[in-house]
Every structure is written in C-alpha cells, then in structure tokens.
Amino acid sequence: MLDGNLDSRADRLNDRYRHHAAIDVLRRAVSDPDLGRVALVSSFGAESVVLLHMVSVVAPGLPVLFIDTQMLFPETLRYQREVSARLGLTDVRVIGAGDDSVARHDPDGTLHKFSPDACCDLRKTVPLEAALSGFDAWITGRKRFQGGQRLSLDFFEPEPPARLRVNPLAHWRAEDVQDYMIENRLPRHPLVAMGYPSIGCAPCTSPVKPGEDPRAGRWRGSDKTECGIHFIGGRIVRGKVPA
C-alpha cells in the first residue's frame, strides 16, 4: 500500500536518489515500491529519444503513452513508429481525444486559433488524465535548462491528488542531451534539422531563428508556454473546455 502523503514520498525519493545518474533514477524508479505503477509519457519530439532509449535498455516493456492530438506533424507520427520499432519498445499506447468529444468541442478544427489552452485541454490533458488513471506515477522528459516553471525541478515531484512525476533528466544540460544522442547513435526527429528544436502540434509550432530560445516557436506570439499536461494536477489554468 502506497503512503498517501505525496510530499513525504517525493522527499523520501529525492533523498534516496539525489546523487544518482539519470539512467539509475529511471532503472530504480520502474521498480521502487514508493512509486507503484509507472508509465512513461512521451511526445516523440526533438529530445524524446533519449528517455525512450533509456527505457529500452532498462525496461523495454514499460508502458509508453503517446498522445496523438490529430494535429501533429506527419513527421512526428512517422518518427513515433520508426523509433518504437527500432528501440524494441513493446507497450507503446497511442491515446487521444474521442471522436465525439472533438466533434462537440472543436468540430471545425479551429479551437486552437481562439483558445489554445482549451484545445490543449481537449486534445492532450483530458486524454492523458484518463490514460494515467491506472498509474501511480509517470515519467517525463522535462529539464531545468528549459526554463520557466522547470527551473527548480527535482527528480521526483508530487502531483496531487494521488500521483508522482519522475524527471530523470531534470539536472541535465542541453549539451548532455546532445552528447547522449551522438554517443548512442540515436535517430533525430526530422524537423530538428529544419529549425524546430521544440516540436508540438503543427498549427502551434513554428521554426526558431538563430539566437532565439529553443521553445520560442511554441505558441509564438502568446504568453502560453506549456500545453497543460505538466501543470500540477494536470489541469489547464485558463480556457477550460466546457463539460
């Protein structure tokens, strides 16, 4: 039975693994009784292959949840299939909003234009919350160097009311990510070479110019910086889709 106090569990895990390398945090996290049932959530984006490769080494049967928003780049969908096969990941679960929900809230596919938060909630947050209902913790690829709300990330953080998040790469630098990909000869997302260092849905992602922040191409021209799945509790702060 898991300890119901999320904060104490997160503190205990951070103390236990504070000096461990990322792959050791991942290896131990998938079997630590303080975490329970664990899944990896992956966008199969620009840097996702690092964690996916680590999972293929330590636990290739770990559930991997991939959210198909129905607005992703075709290159991302192809990359997801190719990487999954190449790494031998045996439990990749493609999830997404139901047809009825999309028809009700975004029948013409334009919700992202006037309420990107509501669109993310419909196509990402709600489907992910449903998929994670069977898990006690989930693994993310977030890192401190990405800035914003991620500057103070720990390996383990509470997600009320009942889940933990695991961030094995929290302390990595941008150079560490690139070095790992080179050393392990991992395939790059094809859009990276076209100026997309951070990749989301096609309508809300644009190329980044030299010198810009790597995430400058996400929701360009707005103050939005996160899709919502990384807010505490998995809830969008603004623009909630009506019930």
Confidence bin at 151 (pLDDT 50/70/90):
low
* Per-residue confidence (pLDDT) for residue 150, from 0 to 100: 60
Least confident of 1-10, 47-56, 85-94, 219-228: 219-228
The CA distance from 89 to 235, in Å, is: 29
The CA distance from 168 to 163, in Å, is: 16
**Cis geometry, peptide bond prior to residue 161 (ω within 30 degrees of 0):** yes
* Per-residue confidence (pLDDT) for residue 213, from 0 to 100: 85
Least confident of 21-30, 49-58, 136-145, 226-235: 226-235
Confidence bin at 233 (pLDDT 50/70/90):
very low
Query: What is the pLDDT averaged over residues 112-127?
Result: 92
Q: Where are the domains of the chain?
A: 6-234
Query: What is the pLDDT averaged over residues 9-22?
Result: 90
Query: What is the pLDDT averaged over residues 81-110?
Result: 96
Which tokens sit at 98?
């139901």
The CA distance from 44 to 83, in Å, is: 8
Residue 236: pLDDT over 50: no
Residue 82: pLDDT over 60: yes
| pTM exceeds cut of 0.95 | no
Confidence bin at 231 (pLDDT 50/70/90):
very low
CA atoms within 13 A on the CB side of 71: 23
Confidence bin at 153 (pLDDT 50/70/90):
confident
The CA distance from 29 to 164, in Å, is: 11
Q: Which helix (H) or strand (E) holds 58?
A: helix 48-58
Taking the CA atoms of 178, 179, 182 and 186 in sequence, report the sign of the dihedral they define. negative
Structure confidence by residue, pLDDT tens digits, 183-219: 999 999 999 999 999 999 999 999 999 888 888 888 8
* Per-residue confidence (pLDDT) for residue 235, from 0 to 100: 42
Residue 33: pLDDT over 80: yes
Residue 30: pLDDT over 50: yes
154: left (phi over 0), alpha (psi -120 to 50) or beta: beta
The CA distance from 61 to 114, in Å, is: 40
* Per-residue confidence (pLDDT) for residue 190, from 0 to 100: 97
Residue 116: pLDDT over 60: yes
Q: CATH code for 6-234?
A: 3.40.50.620
Structure confidence by residue, pLDDT tens digits, 38-55: 999 999 999 999 999 999
Mean pLDDT score of the chain: 87
Which tokens sit at 158?
């509470």
* Phi, psi (rounded to 5 degrees) for 66: -120, 120
Which residues are identified as catalytic? Answer: 227
